[in-house]
């Protein structure tokens, strides 16, 4: 038996195998029976064993890595791909940019949807009836006849239903028919419903703009990610629409329109045309609902045009504010004599002509201005061509064919013989009261037209005089019902007889009112037009002229939107005292 192995000093203990490295003086290994040849063989075996171990370890690590790749990484990648296919990200589905108002409120946006289609090559002819019946039973609103016809087509791609709800998609999957598949798509939605229908317009099934802003900015909305920001204000639009709707109902008018414009930037803050439609369900709308009266309808505005006529007369030097003009009946031709609705038959100052809305005195001013200058200023005010605004639904004005005739010049002076859109009228009046510079109106903020020079239409002095005259109309004349305490409203009424098949309808009128506020330093202009309003015996004494209805509607709009637009009312000391007394307080 071998004795225990110790070091030479008999104090150091060695683990098994360490003793093989201890050599004696003869060159052998101390405490070992192995020869040198045996030791070398042992070392060779140990080296081989170590090499095999390293190889096995490497192979083990390689196999482990591949297993990790296939079981973890590949699975996650497959899951991600599957998830992307089933619920694609908004950025990959939504192609059309949003439309917002001036404050960033979303007016139009896109939502991801799925469309159901069929690969009819996977349908056996004898199964068509059964499949069609199951589809109609699963998805409401589909016609069996229509579905069957689509499933019978010799096509590998036929739409069955667009914009499925998640529940409908689930139920179709449950049917288990291999012919059905789903296409990721986008649905255009309008969160504000009818509120901006005539401004925004609609898109078609292929998501291309068909009308309104959607059509005008179609390329921009499809090719850029940033939203199109409009100048309109959702709060103001909502107020204007409600008040206009209430007044149409109250006065039993056929329809109406109202526009609010910033007179300094010419940005449109609100524009309503009633009746309107729901752009989320345009297929259900009627033609009269889709018609935008604010920009597509052209009308004779009657006495509202006296604002333009008077401004031209002052600017051309035909008359001074204090001058007197004859208001007796004016005979133009053997069959045409101009008369006033409330004849005074005496000379009137320029302010009185406007306050009493004298047709005869206005016609005389028009004749003094003459055809050439009348046309020139109408052109400067944008009344002889289509409005340059961001809508495709823009009508061209109806211009007199024989403008040189005296009767034509006289008629145009008080709003007959020329038909323009409500937008054109408000655009022109805004230029007259803002200091005298015209720019085209815009639905964008800021207005892109302001980068160039505007068109000078009247001087600062005459613009100030016109504001003074318009204030007098509201204080003393037919615009009294538009007067809103603290807002210093100025304006002008217009009541024009309507035509049908080229004949005047004396029992039907179009009532309109244009207002500016505050009239001393105008910020906003408002136009209201009511078509064929009815007289109310207890309220209007049977009258249906603009002073009783359109002016009232405009006043209600101003009182409501003034605070929303940051225009605070300013009261005189007397008005303040009266207000405090009404609420039982002392100054």
CA quadruple 140, 144, 146, 152: dihedral positive or negative?
Answer: positive
CA angle 423, 424, 430 (to 5 degrees): 90
Under 8 Å between Cβ of 235 and 163: no
Identify the CA nearest to 441 among candidates 451, 453, 452, 450.
Answer: 450
Phi, psi of 448 (to 5 degrees): -65, -20
Element (H, E) at 259: strand 255-262
Which stretches of 445-581 are assigned E, i.e. beta strand?
455-456, 490-500, 503-517, 524-531
Cα 390 to Cα 402: distance, rounded to the nearest angstrom: 32
CB-count exposure of residue 427 (10 Å: 0-12, 13-18, 19+): buried
**Beta-ladder partners of 512:** 494, 529
| Three state DSSP letters for 89-151 | CHHHHCCCCCEECCCCCEEEEEEEEEEEEECHHHCCHHHHHHHHHHHHHHCCCCCHHHHHHHH
Identify the CA nearest to 511 among candidates 478, 540, 533.
Answer: 533
Q: Is 303 assigned a catalytic role?
A: yes
| Alpha-carbon distance values, 291 to 251, 270, 397, 533 (Å) | 21, 17, 16, 19
Residue 308 CB contacts under 8 Å (≥ 6 apart), including other chains: 377, 378, 381, 383, 428, 429, 432
User: How many C-beta atoms surround the C-beta of residue 253 within 10 A?
Assistant: 23
3-state secondary structure of 63: helix
3-state secondary structure of 404: coil
> Which of the residues 231, 303, 463, 512 is marked catalytic?
303
Cα 585 to Cα 587: distance, rounded to the nearest angstrom: 7
CA angle 557, 274, 416 (to 5 degrees): 85
Element (H, E) at 260: strand 255-262
Cα 222 to Cα 360: distance, rounded to the nearest angstrom: 55
Element (H, E) at 360: helix 359-369
CA quadruple 164, 166, 169, 175: dihedral positive or negative?
Answer: negative
Q: Give the residue numbers annotated as catalytic, written as ranges.
A: 303
């Amino acid at each position: 038996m071998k004795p225990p192995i110790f070091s030479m000093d008999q104090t150091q203990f060695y683990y098994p195998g360490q003793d093989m490295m201890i050599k004696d003086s003869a060159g052998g290994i101390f405490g070992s029976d192995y020869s040198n040849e045996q030791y070398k063989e042992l070392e060779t075996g140990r080296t081989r064993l170590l090499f095999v171990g390293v190889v096995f370890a490497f192979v083990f690590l390689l196999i482990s890595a591949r297993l990790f790749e296939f079981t973890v990484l590949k699975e996650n990648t497959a899951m991600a791909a599957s998830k992307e296919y089933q619920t694609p990200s908004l950025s990959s589905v939504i192609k059309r940019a949003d439309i917002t108002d001036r404050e960033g409120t979303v007016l139009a946006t896109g939502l991801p949807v799925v469309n159901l289609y069929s690969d009819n090559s996977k349908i056996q002819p004898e199964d068509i009836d059964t499949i069609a019946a199951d589809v109609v039973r699963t998805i409401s609103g589909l016609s069996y006849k229509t579905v069957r016809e689509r499933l019978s087509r010799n096509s590998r791609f036929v739409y069955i239903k667009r914009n499925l709800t998640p529940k409908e998609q689930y139920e179709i999957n449950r049917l288990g028919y291999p012919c059905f598949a789903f296409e990721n798509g986008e649905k255009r939605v309008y969160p504000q419903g009818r509120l901006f229908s005539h401004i925004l317009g609609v898109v078609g099934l292929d998501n291309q703009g068909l009308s309104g802003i959607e059509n005008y900015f179609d390329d921009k909305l499809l090719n850029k990610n940033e939203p199109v920001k409009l100048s309109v204000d959702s709060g103001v639009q909502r107020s204007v629409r409600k008040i206009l709707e209430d007044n149409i109902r109250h006065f039993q008018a056929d329809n109406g329109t109202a526009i609010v414009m910033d007179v300094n930037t010419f940005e449109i803050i609100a524009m309503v045309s009633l009746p309107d439609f729901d752009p989320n369900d345009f297929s259900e709308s009627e033609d009269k609902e889709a018609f935008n009266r604010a920009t597509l309808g052209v009308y004779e505005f009657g006495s509202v045009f006296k604002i333009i006529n008077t401004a031209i007369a002052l600017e051309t030097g035909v008359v001074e504010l204090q001058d007197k003009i004859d208001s007796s009946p004016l005979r133009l031709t053997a069959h045409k004599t101009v008369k006033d609705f409330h004849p005074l038959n005496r000379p009137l100052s320029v302010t009185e002509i406007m306050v009493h809305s004298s047709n005869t005195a206005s016609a005389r001013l028009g004749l003094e201005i003459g055809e050439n200058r009348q046309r020139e200023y109408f052109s400067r005010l944008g009344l002889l061509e289509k409005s340059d605004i961001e809508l495709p639904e823009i009508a061209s004005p109806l211009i007199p064919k024989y403008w040189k005739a005296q009767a034509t010049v006289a008629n145009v002076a008080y709003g007959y013989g020329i038909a323009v859109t409500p937008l054109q009228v408000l655009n022109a009046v805004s230029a007259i009261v803002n200091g005298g510079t015209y720019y085209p109106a815009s639905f964008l903020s800021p207005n892109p037209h302001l980068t160039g020079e505007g068109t000078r239409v009247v001087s600062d002095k005459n613009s100030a005089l016109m504001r003074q005259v318009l204030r007098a109309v509201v204080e003393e004349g037919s615009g009294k019902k538009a007067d809103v305490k603290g807002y210093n409203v100025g304006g002008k009424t217009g009541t024009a007889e309507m035509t049908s098949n080229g004949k005047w309808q004396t029992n039907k009128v179009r009532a309109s009112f244009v207002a500016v506020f505050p009239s001393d330093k105008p910020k906003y202009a408002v136009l209201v037009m009511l078509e064929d309003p009815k007289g109310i015996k207890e309220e209007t004494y049977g009258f249906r002229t603009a002073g009783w209805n359109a002016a009232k509607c405009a006043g209600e709009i101003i009182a409501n939107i003034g605070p929303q637009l940051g225009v605070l009312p300013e009261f005189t000391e007397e008005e303040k005292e009266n207000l405090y007394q009404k609420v039982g307080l002392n100054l």
